[in-house]
Amino acid sequence: MSSFPMLTLLTFLPIIGMVIVMMLPKEKRSLIKITTLVATGLQVVLAGFMWAGFNYSQAGINNPATFQFVERIPWITFDSGSWLGMIKIDYFLGVDGLSAPMVLLTALISFIAAISSWNIERSVKGYFALFLLLDTGMMGTFLALDFFLFYVFWEIMLLPMYFLIGIWGGPRKEYAAIKFFIYTLFGSVFILLVMIGLYLSVNEVTGEGATFHTFNILSMMNPSNYTQDGILSPFNPDNLRFIAFIGLFVGFAIKIPMFPFHTWLPDAHVEAPTPISVILAGVLLKLGAYGIIRFNYSIFPEITRELVWWIALFGMINIIYGAFCAMAQKDFKKLIAYSSVSHMGYVLLGMASLNEVGLGGAVLQMFNHGTITAMLFLLVGVVYDRTHTRGLNDFGGLANNLPVYTGFAIVAFFAAIGLPGLSGFISESFVFLGAFKVESIRLLTIISAAGIVLGAGYMLWTMQRVYLGKLNEKWTDLKDLDFREYTMLVPLAVIVFLLGIFPSIMLDLMNTSINELVNQVTKTDFHSIMSGMK
């Protein structure tokens, strides 16, 4: 199995699709769409194979030996004398229990978004080419184990997203696209600086016994790899690890989006076309949380331990603030955007617990939020296609003539609220269980629990305004779901039910890795090295 470049194929399959799309003539719209569908579909199949071949007992996290499907070849290695210096960057992909759920999510959401893109009319060719490029960027970001490679994928993702919002977006698309771009870029320049700082502080010994600076994330997690005087080295008494943690955290928090960096999200969601909203909420937001777990937690464990209270605080603010904002919205999409802010707060809170239950809940919540919010955006897209309005007060009583659609909506809404038996319940309760165990953040957890009530409040109120009551006269001749919409919504609904009843499907996948992660965060001793120095 190891000889088969599974992860490379998983990552670059969309690029192959993109090349084919680029070569197809502009007029062959359906052929372009089918190519995209096939590429993303194959990606789902490959992700399934990866899952089937995944060894549940190997942890990954900080040990290259227990990562699976690892591919590692030197990418940029040159020593061209005095004028360009020396650089060593690896093409290093691997998957562990932390990234595996995210890979599955990315493949699934991309496939569903591809179906949802079927009714795109304007410059189809450009749209699907960018769409596939975005897919590659997301997949690569989750799989990269070399910081530099990660950064490149991270930025590659930015470009297509910018164009997809900017060209195919709504009336205020220019503003939304630029805001999205500038916010993310602002965050990523900090990530870049921390990356360079880490690169200069970490040494890796190669086979020939020579030491190189390295971008290898796994090497950065081991205190013994650090140089004596690197600016981010624990051996250096004047190190800047605290500042670096903050910089990295802000860079990722913008993507989550964490209060007060969240303001780009409602704009981007409202202006983006439905499939892009689905991807944005389903996958892109997870990248921020994934980045914090993968980088901040594992590379700066000692500072993470110091700052958990603050992470929990921001989690709480996200939950409560997001819920209140959602309650005040009159636009369907904006409401779901703010509910995303609120739900990503649970992820932050779970992460702050630093125990198996809380972190497991956080990662599961990332997956569940991905599916549930994707479903919610698809549902908004369905009515928007038919009525061309998203105002919550323009609807009413849709249950009367769209019963099947309303059924799906009820599943999604209740999953978002956290009804037992649906997936949202499991992850939210895990988050609270984990967070409640921790003495220092108990008060914050208790306040956050109010978010569930608030969440139920705005969700139920929305349901009442849109689906229940007397049917608005304007919408008497709306049609119920067609076949394409079934294919998008049914898989997601199945997953929501399945993970609500058998959460162990996902939990087993990540269990070993989460344990190892907790071990890494709580046990790795960067401090004693520092105090030993002083």
Partner 1 sequence: MNLTSTDYLNILPLLLVGAGILISLTVEMYSKKSVGFLSWFSFLLHLLVAYYSLYTVNNVSSVFGGMMGTGGTVNIFYFIFNFGAAIVALLSMDYIKKAEIYFGEYYILLQSAVLGMMLMASATDLVMVFIGLELMSICFYVLAGFQRKNVRSNEASLKYFLLGSFTTGFIVYGMALIYGASGSLNIQSIFSMLSAESTPILFYVGTLLFIIGFCFKIAAFPFHMWVPDVYQGAPTSVTAMMSTIGKAAAFSALLLIMLPLIGSKNPQTFTPLFTVLSAASMIFGSIVALAQTDIKRMLAYSSIAHAGYMLIGLAAANDTGASGIVFYLAAYAFMNLGAFGIVSLIEGNGDTEGTIESYAGLSDRNPLLAGLLALFMFTLSGLPPFAGFFGKYYVFIASLEAGNVWIAVLGALSSAISAYFYLRIIVVMYFRKSDVASDNIITESHTSLLGIVISAILVIMMGLTPGSIVRLINSF
Footprint of partner 1 (CB under 8 A): 76, 78, 80-85, 87, 151-152, 155-156, 158-159, 162-163, 166-167, 173-174, 177-178, 181-182, 185-186, 189-190, 192-193, 196-197, 199-200, 231, 240
Q: Which one, 50 or 93, has the nearer CB to partner 1? A: 93
Alpha helices by DSSP H, 272-355: 274-279, 285-291, 298-299, 301-327, 332-353
Q: Which one, 62 or 214, has the nearer CB to partner 1? A: 214
- What Rg, from alpha-carbon coordinates, does the chain have? 23
Q: Which one, 89 or 109, has the nearer CB to partner 1? A: 89
Residue 173 CB, nearest approach to partner 1 (Å): 6
Q: What is the DSSP letter of 58?
A: -
How many Å separate Cα 484 from the centre of its chain?
25
- At 3, the amino acid letter reads S
Residue 50 CB, nearest approach to partner 1 (Å): 25
Contacts by 398-401, CB closer than 8 A, 24 or more apart: 398/466, 398/467, 398/471, 398/475, 398/478, 399/467, 399/468, 400/471, 401/471, 401/475, 401/476, 401/478, 401/480
In whole angstroms, give the CA distance from residue 167 to residue 266.
18
Cα 524 to Cα 237, 304, 437, distances in angstroms? 18, 11, 21
Cα 425 to Cα 256, 361, 422, distances in angstroms? 21, 10, 6
Q: Which one, 200 or 449, has the nearer CB to partner 1? A: 200
Residue 240 CB, nearest approach to partner 1 (Å): 7
Q: Which one, 163 or 367, has the nearer CB to partner 1? A: 163
Nearest to 311 by CA among 357, 253, 237, 230: 253
In whole angstroms, give the CA distance from residue 359 to residue 514.
7
Residue 8 CB, nearest approach to partner 1 (Å): 16
Take residue 317 and report the two structure tokens written for it: 């603010």
Q: Which residues of 418-444 are buried (b: 16+ CB within 10 A; e: fewer)?
A: bbeebbbbbbbbbbbbbbbebeebeeb
Q: What is the DSSP letter of 226?
A: B
Q: Which one, 22 or 328, has the nearer CB to partner 1? A: 22
Number of Cβ within a 10 Å radius of residue 381: 22
Residue 462 CB, nearest approach to partner 1 (Å): 31
Residue 439 CB, nearest approach to partner 1 (Å): 36
Nearest to 343 by CA among 268, 463, 425: 425
Q: Which one, 194 or 335, has the nearer CB to partner 1? A: 194
Q: Which one, 42 or 253, has the nearer CB to partner 1? A: 253
Q: Which one, 197 or 381, has the nearer CB to partner 1? A: 197
Sort residue 85 into left (φ over 0), alpha (ψ -120 to 50) or beta: left
Residue 251 CB, nearest approach to partner 1 (Å): 10
Residue 440 CB, nearest approach to partner 1 (Å): 31
Residue 382 CB, nearest approach to partner 1 (Å): 27
Q: Which one, 116 or 184, has the nearer CB to partner 1? A: 184
What secondary structure does DSSP assign to 134-151, as a single string? Answer: HHHHHHHHHHB-BHHHHH
Residue 347 CB, nearest approach to partner 1 (Å): 26
